[in-house]
Amino acid sequence: MCSPPRSHPDKDIMSLRTDAYIDGQWRSGAKRFPVFNPATQETVAQVPDLGAAEAEEAIAAAHRAFPKWAAKTAKERGQIMRAWFDLMIADLDRLARLISLEGGKPVAEAKGEAMYGASFVEWFAEEAKRAYGRVIPTTTPTRRYVTIKQPIGVCAAVTPWNFPMAMITRKAAPAIAAGCTIVLKPPHQTPLTALALAELAENAGLPPGVFNVVTTEHAAAVGKVMCESPLVRHFSFTGSTEIGKKLGAACVGSTVKKVALELGGNAPLIVFADADLDLAVKGAVMSKFRNAGQTCVCANRILVEDAIYDAFSKKLADAVAKLKVGPGDQEGVDVGPLIDKKAIEKVELMVGEALASGAVALTGGKKHAAGAQFYTPTVLANVTRDMRVNTEEIFGPVAPLIRFNSEDEAVAIANDTPFGLAAYFFTRDVNRAWRVAERIEAGMVSINDGIFSNEVIPFGGWKESGLGREGGSEGLDEYLESKFVNFGGF
């Protein structure tokens, strides 16, 4: 049974919208569902539990708004988006506390996400002005060839809970900047951040129907409408590979709409014997334990060359043992709660299996006393390649260490996965840096750095980690169609 909403000390957080946003109107519903604080399991708000009918209504609104929005110049769209960005920056502290409240991450980290999320709005407001076509040299004197880029149309997006703001703006900002309209289904765990963004967009002057937010606990019903609607021309999803495959197939099988999928990862982090160990430890902690390990690009498994394995293991375990665990609104917290009961159970099971198979917990290896959904930051030694902590995405604060003896072996272990989203490695050898970066099968490779994401880079994966790119100039191209025009009769 859900607990009643409590009186929260940050009253300005709870003054944010808790209704869905369709066609410029704040919409309630016959049913509502609770949003929980993962640190306390308390209910912090109730939002509308909408369904297929409301999803169709939102798509229709986006379809009506599209011609007028697409007809605006990139500069006009950019001015509204710049106002949206300015409002987000002015509201940064409140947005950070909201992200922490419904998602669990420490407030300082949440503020970093809020800034990261806002950066996509700023970047694409400017990048839309550079959606260039080209002139193609003619094959005959009587013809002239050009290409132009035009907005693809109505877009639909399904976003995850682990980055409740950034994963929205990384999709919505390029779509809106390109001249498209969009319907968003945020995750049921973290819908409040999406509604806060909608309110700020409305205040910035974004016209009705351009940005719509459909809240629901019935993801399958709303997702089906998005995938099968003939009015939707582009579908973007961030989440598990299993669900992404089904949604992608539904999109192509029904209306052959354009699909962007940012799916699961199993990122290796390789530490070669010539690496700066202190830098490698710092990078591993930053990558692995950000958002309690609940990121698709975090270092899921750490591969360490045998010659430095013992030294690195001790340094990493010492650093991880110092991480402060607790609710995100507490001062100095490094690691917050996992998102829900299912997540904590998965981590417990995977660590238990590893320990039973011979792995050793150098630190952690158990739940944390801070609460039901907290897990102690963990370093596991003696991990083998067949253990699930190596073969599957953990999505928790657990760092498995695997020995290797050569560069070839490290690359083979790194590539021995159906996923290819991100990879990291540490070395002082410039030749090795180029060589390994080219050999690793991943869409993004970071050398001597545990954090790389920002708005100017193309974010996306190889193999079963997805299709398409978000961010950079490539992110805008996802929402544009190239049209060839032949001028004849010269």
Catalytic residues: 262, 296
Find all residues with CB under 8 Å of 73, minimum gap 6, and list them. none
6-11-16 Cα angle (round to 5): 100
Is the Cβ–Cβ distance between 352 and 343 less than 8 Å? Answer: no
Phi, psi of 146 (to 5 degrees): -140, 155
Separation of alpha carbons 419 and 436, rounded Å: 17
Sheet-wide strand order for 258-262: 25-27, 20-22, 211-213, 181-185, 154-158, 232-238, 258-262, 466-467
Separation of alpha carbons 159 and 185, rounded Å: 7
Helix axes 74-90, 166-178, angle to 10 degrees: 160
Separation of alpha carbons 414 and 369, rounded Å: 34
H-assigned helices in 323-480? 341-356, 388-391, 407-415, 430-439, 472-477
Q: Please report, in angstroms and rounded to a whole number, the separation of the first and last CA atoms in the chain.
A: 75
